[in-house]
Amino acid sequence: MLQGAQSVYITTNLWSSCNDEPYIGITAGWLNPIDWTLKEALLACEKINGKHTDNGPNIVKAI
């Protein structure tokens, strides 16, 4: 999937479900060197313990 990619970026996103349960998503993205289209892949999507607004400790544990 990443064959030929010279650079890859990683992003994270935190959100709460309708039931107020916190989740973290981690994605990767890169340019396809053949046709210059943006490609993306979901690396992880996990429920985390505690609130995702707790100044980082729960985020660090999740990663």
pLDDT in tens, the chain (63 residues): 767 788 999 999 988 889 988 898 999 999 988 889 999 999 999 998 776 566 566 666 666
Cα–Cα distance, 32 to 36 (Å, whole number):
5
- Predicted local distance difference test score (pLDDT) of residue 51: 66
Q: pLDDT at position 56, please?
A: 66
The pLDDT of residue 20 is 87
